[in-house]
Chains A and B, each alone.
Chain A
Amino acid sequence: MTSLPQSTNKRLGLVIDLDTCVGCHACATNCKEWNTGGHMAPLTDQNPYGKDPDGVWFNRVHSFEVDRGDGPGVTINFPRSCMHCDNAACVTVCPTGASYKRAEDGIVLVNTDKCIGCKLCSWACPYGAREFDEDEGVMKKCTLCIDRIYNETLDIEDRQPACVLTCPVGARHYGDFNDPNSNVSKLVAERAGRPLMPELGYNPTNRYLPPRARRVDAENIGAQSRLDPVSPRKGFLSWVDNALSR
């Protein structure tokens, strides 16, 4: 059914820290690596070794320069993936029932056996989360690594989305937003985490932590602004100093 659940037991999603992200693309790469063998497999590519490679990715890392008016512009690395929205219009527009939102955890998925490849869901997503698989003729999207987070053959600490596990700087966090004590809920509260394009009314689950305010310069404590070089008192260097100072 492409009607949305009234509410979901859990609201699983990601917090992405724009202050910490270094834009290394490791999350995007590991996402492609895991998911090309996972629930949505394969993530096909066209012309992968040619001049114009193109293919399905669930995660894209942009980088922007933002002038916040508090000094030189800041570089913001911005990973973009599915927000697993409460009001997921990508689900309601689906004519076949291939797209659905799970009532138990809020994850938005595609049943590729039912998808007719009309692409309307990708038109309905403001975040560009869905990418069409030209090879298979169906739409594909982020699964929040549903095949990792519930995978009992993995160690408990590995039951997290691939992008979160691989992030070398800990800029990605995974958890339940319905639980006020979860790490993601706490981070959002501490750092004023934001939904993207809230004005469009999709009520996305994922939150982005904006970069912290720029550190202000230290107060004037009477220190010299410039230090004079210390002249050596004896030895060879002292002789050189004296000879050159003459």
Chain B
Amino acid sequence: MHPAFSVIFFTTSSGAGYGLLALMGLFGAAGQLPQDRWFGLTGLFIALGLVSAGLLASMLHLGRPERAWRAMSQWRSSWLAREGVLALATYVPAGIFAIGWVFLENTSGLFALMGVLSTVMALLTVIATSMIYRSLKTIHQWNNCWTLPGYVTLSLMTGALLLSALLMVFGEQVRAVHGLVPVAIVVAWIVKYVYWRFIDTTQSLATPNSAIGVDGASVKPLDPPHSTENYLLKEMGFQVARKHATKLRLISIATLFVLPLVLSLIAYMGVGGMIALIAAVLAVMLAGLGILAERWLFFAEARHAVNLYYGAESV
């Protein structure tokens, strides 16, 4: 699949934003985070800023962005519509939670409830995003049980990295959050590892034979149906060279998992010091690069069934 920048930016940016919002809602409601209004303001501004920037980017890739409001109506059948509804609805508890924190410096009672509700809604939105891909039977690399946990764990992982670094910037120590970061990285890494193993060792049930309804030993393309690239080839026919995919995976593993894991352990052990702060901020920056590579691969390595008509031997 063509890795469109707007969709890569949307899923990674809003994923990290929802992860941060979910953790702030949960830890804030539990009274684990500083009640200071400036901390609340900065954290929720980053969370909702990332979410909103992502949502705006996702509208830019529409052919008719001015009609985007229509995309909420079909929540009964469409995961994209559900995502839209959930994304908008999340602003309500998140907004009330933010009012309590920023204006009243209060994250308990009703505001705690709104915090927990923000967590639930944020996670549901990320799940809806992942289900857009998970539900497409045309793309074996997405239509499997590892897509959803991949999106959720990476969202929480990038959110945890952001929250930990933010706490350190404010000179705060919340062991539970700093300790959560390496755990989240390991979990996300395991899920991504299993996902990559799965797509490397399995393929779609559809074959060139079933695509044209003729049995036989081999189906070879003879004459193409058109002399230049068409919409299908531009959108669905993207192919990433195997050697580049391998290299990009290594880059992704190093910057998304290995280095942030080491840095987050350094930050956890030296919490309160300057080195810990630098390590936590560096981990965020590296993971930011890594998640872009990971999401680019998620699209580039996805092989759509229509490619069977254009010479692919398997998808």
Instruction: Using CB atoms and an 8 Å cutoff, list the residues of chain A in contact with chain B.
Output: 1-4, 18, 23, 28, 52-57, 60-69, 73, 75-76, 78, 80, 89, 91-98, 114-120, 122-128, 131-134, 136-139, 194-202, 208, 210-211
How near does chain B come to A210, taking the closest CB pair, in angstroms?
A: 5
B295-311 with Cβ < 8 A to chain A: 304-306, 308-309
Given the interface pairs A62-B309, A80-B309, A128-B236, the reply to whether A116 lies near B70 with Cβ below 8 Å is yes
What is the interface size of chain B, counting residues whose CB is below 8 A from a CB of the partner?
60
Question: Do B213 and A95 have beta carbons less than 8 Å apart?
Answer: no
A123 and B111 CA atoms in complex are apart in Å by 41
Closest 4 pairs between A and B when the two form their complex, measured CB to CB: A117-B63, A137-B63, A95-B81, A128-B306
Least CB distance, A115 to chain B, in whole angstroms = 7
| B contact residues around A57 at 8 Å (CB) | 226, 230
Complex CA–CA separation, A245 to B277 (angstroms): 108
Q: Is the interface of A mostly helix, strand, loop or mixed?
A: loop
Q: Tell me if A116 and B64 are in contact (CB < 8 A).
A: yes
Closest chain B residue to A47, Cβ basis: B228
Contacts of B236 in A (CB 8 A): 122-123, 128
Set of chain A residues within 8 Å of B229, measured between Cβ atoms: 52, 54
The 25 listed contacts between A and B (C-beta, < 8 Å) are A1-B74, A2-B74, A53-B228, A54-B230, A62-B225, A62-B309, A69-B216, A73-B220, A80-B225, A89-B135, A93-B132, A95-B72, A95-B73, A95-B78, A96-B81, A115-B67, A118-B80, A120-B132, A122-B231, A123-B139, A123-B235, A123-B304, A125-B138, A137-B63, A208-B212
Give the residue of B67, B137, B214 whose beta carbon is less than 8 angstroms from that of A116.
B67
Do B228 and A93 touch (CB < 8 A)? no
For A120, the chain B residues whose CB sits under 8 A away are 80, 132
Residues of B with C-beta under 8 A to A91: 77
* In the assembled complex, B39 has its CB within 8 A of some CB on chain A: no
Chain B residue with Cβ nearest A195? B213
Closest residue to B135 on the A side, CB-wise?
A: A93
Q: Which of A56, A63, A118 contacts B71 (CB 8 A)?
A: A118
- Taking the closest CB of chain A, its distance from the CB of B65, in whole angstroms, is 8
Closest to A119 in B: B235
